Amino acid sequence: MTLSNTPFNPLDRPAINPLFLFRWEEQEQAYLLLYPEGIIKLNDSAGNILNLCDGERTMESIIAELKVLFGADDIDGDIYNFMEVARGKGWIKAED
Amino acid sequence: MAKAGSKLKIDGNGKPLWLVLELTYRCPLKCPWCNNPLDFDELKNELTTEEWKKVLRDARAIGSLQLGFSGGEPMLRPDLEELVDEGNRLGYYTNLITSGMGLSKDRLSELKRCGLKQIQLSLQHSNREKNDIMVGVQSHDEKMAVIEEIKAQGFPVVLNVPLSRYNIEAVDDIIDMAARTGVEYIEFANIQYYNWALLNRAALLPTREQIEYAEARVNEARKRLGNKPTIYFVVPDYFDGRPKACMNGWGAIHLTIAPDGSALPCQEAQVMEGVDFPNVRDNDLGWIWRESPAFEMYRGDAWMKKPCVDCDEKEKDFGGCRCQAYLLTGDATNTDPACSKSRHFDIIQSAVAAARITSGPQMPLVMRSRGAINGKMRLIRP
Ligand SMILES: C[S@@+](CC[C@H](N)C(=O)[O-])C[C@H]1O[C@@H](n2cnc3c(N)ncnc32)[C@H](O)[C@@H]1O
Ligand code: SF4
Ligand code: SF4
């Protein structure tokens, strides 16, 4: 992957890697990531986070929305960690 | 293609997650290792556009997610774009598996517009003359131009290089060419011996030394180039002592529809004589997948005999490939002879041993072409 290694910052706008297809699958009642060699069924929180990675929203606003959605306040660290893992797996990239 | 260790991150739960449509068996190339049926030219009644669309809808309804358009050469179908469009609209991840012949700039942009996600292009050699001899048709220049165009349109390039004795020495050159032109992925697909490949096996099967050479070159290139390109290479079953986990099991997650609408648990399944594969023209796809005798036949492990039935590896490889067991031992319920525990393992070992003595430039091959094969002789055998 040619993705940069600098950590995400609050103004980055994470977006799904265009090689992947991210969508809700009614039959699985889950968000899926489809890519050339496979299919990943995401758990609830991962699916809800990726659903906001549209290349428009900044990290700041994603975290603000998730706080409401998850009804939790102390999640900044977890979200940043998740984003790094997701980027490491090539699911998302940062646009600025 | 049957392949060890496809990265399935979702339990099939009994759904045909992977759908492959073989739109046609027609093809401008004549690859002598082609895994299409030997009697491909007897098939005249390809499904119509509307019939294929119905397959797409019905398969989505029973849970298919990954969609491959293959063949033959899928570019020969003028309705390919329309089918990709429909597949994309239905929510599939759409893949095109092509020789590149006929993949013009215009069609490529139309496919992109229709939502095609990825293209896998087959290439046989880095050397133009050798490539064209291998497939029996001038095609190398066109394939190289297609690589450029795929890149230009923003698709990643996935090369499929079917490996045999005839191109294994070119592994380095192919990797260098790929690195130079910015190809993202190379899959060195060790040829699997069904149909035309089995017919030509004595001429195609590499020696163990060649397999080791190729693997070493791939490992060296991975060190040198990192993942530019990413290189896939899996030691083939003939040299591994264990069979491949073919299709993740019969009727588990994979569904192929042949050009005439026959529904198959794997592209090679038609080699099994006497199995009545249901057709989407006559039967409901849900019934075909869930209940038809052909799909139930080797599902799970009720069909297994010794040694598989008592083996602690049966969850890993499902006893190997039913088609290979049938083709090489005459009985599909036998252990795949690629397994060292099979009492037919000598069949594989002797083929591997023979690869050393039969290697040489004087071996003729039968090219995949109309009328090359007489498949009816067995019918008049006394
Ligand atoms: C049968 S072809 C059909 C699509 C198209 N004509 C092409 O060549 O890509 C599908 C893929 O299978 C590969 N292939 C063909 N025969 C094979 C064999 N016996 N073992 C392994 N791969 C094979 C080809 O290289 C190609 O990537
Ligand atoms: S493998 Fe070769 S002959 Fe077979 S369908 Fe593909 S291009 Fe045609
Ligand atoms: S005996 Fe059967 S289940 Fe065991 S490793 Fe061999 S093929 Fe697989």
Please work out, in degrees rounded to the nearest 5, the angle formed at the alpha carbon of residue B151 by the alpha carbons of B225 and B267.
85
Render pLDDT for B12-64 as a digit per residue (tens, 0 to 9). 668 999 999 999 999 999 999 999 999 888 778 999 999 999 999 999 999 99
Distance B91 CA to ligand 2 centre (A): 28
Distance B196 CA to ligand 1 centre (A): 11
Tokens of B100: 């590149």
As a dihedral over the C-alpha atoms of residue B24, residue B57, residue B54, residue B157, rounded to 10 degrees, the angle is -20
CA-based max dimension of chain B: 60
* Count of helices and strands (H, E) across chain B: 14, 10
| For testing contact with chain A, the best of B9, B62, B89 (most A CBs within 10 A) | B9
Q: How high does pLDDT run on average in chain B?
A: 92
What percent of chain B lies above the pLDDT cut of 70? 95
SS3 B71: coil
Q: Identify the helix (H) or strand (E) that includes residue B187.
A: strand B185-190
Predicted pLDDT at B97: 97
B10 touching chain A per CB within 8 A: yes
Placement of tokens 């069909």 in the chain: B303
For B:259-318, CB contacts with A below 8 A are none
Q: Measured from the CB, is residue B137 less than 6 Å from ligand 1?
A: no
- Residues B16/B253, Cβ–Cβ less than 8 Å: yes
Q: Residue A95: phi, psi to the nearest 5?
A: -115, 140
A38 touching chain B per CB within 8 A: yes
- Residues B207/B355, Cβ–Cβ less than 8 Å: yes
- Residues B204/B238, Cβ–Cβ less than 8 Å: no
- Residues B159/B169, Cβ–Cβ less than 8 Å: no
User: Mean pLDDT throughout B74-88?
Assistant: 98
Can you name the residues that pair with B370 across neighbouring β-strands? Answer: none
Predicted pLDDT at A1: 38
Q: Measured from the CB, is residue B345 less than 6 Å from ligand 3?
A: no
> In the predicted model, is pLDDT for residue B123 greater than 50?
yes
A89 touching chain B per CB within 8 A: no
pLDDT, greater one: B373 or B127: B127
- Residues A93/A87, Cβ–Cβ less than 8 Å: yes
CA-nearest of B185, B182, B199, B93 to B144 is: B182
Distance A7 CA to ligand 1 centre (A): 42
Render pLDDT for B231-289 as a digit per residue (tens, 0 to 9). 999 999 999 999 999 999 999 999 999 999 999 999 999 999 889 999 999 999 999 99
Q: What is the C-alpha separation between B347 and B270, in angstroms, rounded?
A: 22
Minimal Cα distance from B61: which residue of A? Answer: A27
* pLDDT level of residue B223 (50, 70, 90 thresholds): very high
> In the predicted model, is pLDDT for residue B2 greater than 60?
no
- Residues B186/B347, Cβ–Cβ less than 8 Å: no
Q: What is the C-alpha separation between B12 and A23, in angstroms, rounded?
A: 18
Q: What is the C-alpha separation between A91 and B255, in angstroms, rounded?
A: 27
Tokens of B94: 């759409």
Predicted pLDDT at B107: 97
Q: Measured from the CB, is residue B1 less than 6 Å from ligand 1?
A: yes
- Residues B210/B165, Cβ–Cβ less than 8 Å: yes
Minimal-distance CA residue to ligand 3 atom 8: B319
Minimal-distance CA residue to ligand 1 atom 6: B73
User: Mean pLDDT throughout B352-361?
Assistant: 75
Prior bond to B156 cis, omega within 30?
Answer: no
From first to last of its 96 residues, chain A has per-residue pLDDT tens of: 344 567 888 999 999 988 889 999 998 899 999 988 789 999 999 999 999 999 999 999 999 999 999 999 899 999 999 999 999 888 998 876
